[in-house]
Structure 1
Amino acid sequence: MRRLRHILVAVALAGATSALLIPAAPAQGQPPSQPQPYLAIDHDFPDPSLLRAGERYYAYSTNADGRNMPVASAEGLYGTWTIAADGLPTLGSWASEGFTWAPDVTVLDDGSYLVYYTARHTASGRQCIGAARSTSPGGPFEPVGDSALICPTEEGGAIDAATFVDADGDRYITYKNDGNAIGQPTYLYLQRVAANGTTLIGEPVRTMQNDPNVEGGLIEAPFLVRHQSRYYMFYSYGQWWNETYTTAYAVASSLAGPWTKATEPLMTTRSLKGSAIGPGGASFLTEGRQGEVVVFHGVRNTPSFHRAMYVARLKWNGATPVVSVTK
């Protein structure tokens, strides 16, 4: 689950901003001959999302170390990641500080960058989704509008927004209602938006619901990918703090559905041979010089207990997505 972690870590000051260097493998071109999945950021970096801007990669995470939105960047996925200053220093006026989760950054048609983020809705106490904009992928992002973008408080609120742009250019947001916060079911929603990313078009559509017998009380962290002629909705379920957290997916031939959940998940602690514990909060990059990849967090049972960011190659066995595992 995309939840707040209270972990204090000292960081070095460099000029006017603070930056934390996270060493990784030196290679910046082809994936290194290291075990897959690859531990890219061994630091508290939950619910990572990934963006390629020019020749550089950017990753964004749930709040940590006093930052609303930690931003890391690297020249290569397997290089050295640098966590710099807060990419979202100011939240929308509707939101309270301290509960900023699961950001997702997309580039708009005009070349600017838009982030969807989850924050605490001050008036209701629920988590809701807001938006902020920047001319740079590293921020700072400035809030858009005076109210939350998506805030169904009667359904427990909304969290875990992610962008999807279809082959025809139509733009959508996927998200989860936070029903488990109020004892209700959880659904994954699909909401069409205009080219500016913040004008909602029509009503949100429920794509699927949690199955209590398999997934327990929630499904969350949706991320939509199109592969060939099919749509794949990846999502997480289980307990984010232990080995039960799982990344699964459902498939449809149309965004209108119906959606069929796969019989086997994409990633579990067992399927990754213990190289990452509780793999979830995943996002995907399906184009780029290093091929298709998935980034996700996994629990590190160290004295500090944190969720680190992993990178893994995504392959396709016909119509079935497969995460590379070598150990």
Structure 2
Amino acid sequence: MLRNPVLRGFEPDPSILRVGEDYYLATSTFEWYPGVRIHHSRDLVNWRCLGGVLDDKRLLDLQGVPDSGGIWAPGLSYADGLFHLVFTVVDTYGEGWKDVPNYLTTAPSIEGPWSDPVPLHARGFDTSFFTDEDGSSWLLNMRFDWRPGHETFAGIQLQRYDRAARRVTGEPRTIFRGTALGVTEGPHLYRRDGWYYLVTAEGGTGYEHQTTVARSRSIDGPYETDPAGPMLTSRHDPSLELQKAGHCSLVETQYGQWYAAHITARPYGERGRCVLGRETALQPVEWSEDGWPRIAGGIPAVEIPVPTLANAPVPEPPATDLFEGPRLGPEWSTLRRPAAPHWVSPAPGRLRIVGGQSAGSRRAPSLVARRVTDQHCVFETRMDFEPRTSDHLAGLTAYYNTRNWHYLHLTAGDHGSPLLRVLSCEAGRLTLHEPGIAVESGAPVVLGVEFDGPVLRFSYDIGDRVRQFPVELDATTVSDEAADEFQDGRVRTLGFTGAMLGLWVQDLDGSGVHADFAYATYRTGHS
């Protein structure tokens, strides 16, 4: 049996694609570089992360984007021997506005090189790309209407795209306004047996989430929805292990089987907080006698039969990264700026990170992090760092966004002596946990963190033995629900990502300090 989710941790908005015998999944990355993560499989069971596609500022600029802004819901497709990637960069989403420019980039190989992005439009987000049987190509997106008194999610739009000229042509048309549930977004279009099938997400991406299917004989409608109701949802059953199910994209295997890749989440308790963020799962799809794609029971299954594809295992990534390559491995991400030698440099036996701006910075933070994939996991590193003032900090963090994190770090006290401290930020409020632990100047320290369900514990070793920092912290501080903030009924901050574990360095006085990390070990399960 295949056990869901197939992509664990912060891996939302899956766009699935088959090219020959190869399957690809593209997921949203928001404020993290490289933008748009790609996973590859030959059997839909074993997936290998290839890393991100948009890995420099020529392709993507995330400087200044809000928490959970940046890359939303990419669309991956294939035509003319090229991979086509469409994506939205969300620069603004609060106070009733959304600045959402969309782009398209192409590459002859999934590993690039990727072309300079072509601007498309900024009318809405969740853009996808569809090439019809006659060779014509079309862009789809949800339409955002900013006007007070209007429905902000104003339906699904369709517009022709000229692949040769690399630009949109003609006027956009609204082809579907959704069901009464509303918040209609995430469109993907498919053609089968003379029908156009429009697959959309509705109800928002939380516990009311669902996938709605509509069809038409004409590409521009009218579209009728499946009379059986949503193809997939968890919203009627809080006891299901997989919640927030929706936002499907479909793929047909080379043997005629169909599967849906979809968002899901594994909360801590019924309708509880989701520390792992929104993850990606797969469900088999059957076609009804009257031609509708259906998922058994309309609910997400934790286990499904393994697809009838040749088993293609992939090597497990090592638990410990010694940073021996010239670049960061595909499991690592950097916050709001691409990894570049002037601030992050792997070398055999160490990763050097030059200090960046504060924990609240949206411009130049120095954070290298990886996804939390299990409710029980541990992360450890050994660090060399010589802080000279309290403006110098370096260590290990459990991170969600600029307003929600826990941080075990080395800094300097009032008299310049190094101190190991724990600092937490919850909804923007800082708490410095006592006591500070005195550390010998110039000595390396081993730092560790454990996620034990809803409890988070830090540990350290300053040369004699491993000790726990004497405070238990709330792991659900780094969850989607804790990150969601509203003020006077308006969105302040959204929580669309997931918990990360990272190596973090601040240089608040601009003196050029750096920290060296000898290794980083990540393991699932209890310590």
Q: Kindly indicate whether the alpha-carbon contact (under 8 Å) linking 1:95 and 1:120 is maintained by their aligned counterparts in 2.
A: no
SS of 2:139's partner is strand
Matched, 1:297 2:270: no
Q: 2:104 aligns with which of 128, 131, 153?
A: 131
Aligned residue type for 2:155: Y
Q: 1:180 to 1:196 in 2, by over 3 A?
A: same
| Aligned CA distance change for structure 1 residues 198 and 182 (closer, same or farther; 3 Å) | farther
2:288 aligned with 1:322, yes or no?
no
1:255–1:308 distance in 2 versus 1, CA, 3 Å: same
Report the Cα offset of residue 130 of structure 1: 0.7
Matched, 1:307 2:278: yes
Deviation at 1:125, TM superposition (A): 5.8
Alignment-mate amino acid for residue 200 of structure 1: V
2:16 and 2:72 map into 1 onto residues whose CA distance is 15
Q: 1:180 to 1:296 in 2, by over 3 A?
A: farther
1:270 deviates by 5.6
- Residue 74 of structure 1, aligned match among 26, 36, 41: 41
**RMSD, aligned CA:** 2.8
- The answer for the alignment partner of 1:237 in structure 2 is 202
Structure 2 residue corresponding to 1:254, chosen from 201, 218, 223: 218
Task: Give the alignment partner of residue 120 of structure 1, picking from 90, 94, 97.
Answer: 90
**Displacement after TM superposition at 1:271 (Å):** 7.8
Task: Give CA-to-partner distance per residue, 1:279-299, whole Å, 9 cap, x none.
Answer: 222211134347211101112
| 1:311 maps to amino acid | L
Separation in 1 of the partners of 2:206 and 2:280?
14
Equivalent residue for 1:215?
A: 181
DSSP 3-state at the match of 2:16: strand
State the AA in 2 paired with 1:202: G
The gaps in structure 1 that reach 5 residues or longer are 1-32, 153-157
> What is aligned with 2:120?
149
Sort the Cα spacing of 1:197 and 1:162 in 2 relative to 1 into closer, same or farther, 3 A: farther
Secondary structure of the 2:101 match is: strand
Distance of 1:178 and 1:323 partners within structure 2: 29
Residues 31-82 of structure 1: per-residue CA shift (max 9 Å, x gap): xx346xx421112111011122343221111116543211111222012x22
Percent identity at matched positions? 21
TM-score (norm 1): 0.76
CA contact (8 A) 2:18 2:252 kept: no
Checking the alignment, whether the CA contact within 8 Å between 1:160 and 1:222 is kept in structure 2 is yes
Greater C-alpha Rg: 2
Q: Is the 8 A contact 1:88 1:142 kept in 2?
A: no
What letter matches 1:233 in structure 2?
Answer: L
Q: Single out whichever of 227-236 and 83-92 deviates more from structure 2.
A: 83-92
Mapped to 1, the partners of 2:78 and 2:86 lie a distance apart of: 12
In the alignment, which residue of structure 1 is the partner of 2:141? Answer: 175
SS of corresponding position for 2:128: strand
Structure-2 residue corresponding to 1:201: 169
Structure 2 segments unaligned to the other structure (5+ residues): 269-273, 304-527
Deviation at 1:249, TM superposition (A): 1.6
Alignment of 1:7-86 (within 5 A): 33-34=1-2, 38-63=4-29, 66-79=33-46, 81-86=47-52
Partner of residue 4, structure 1: none
* 1:129 maps to amino acid: N
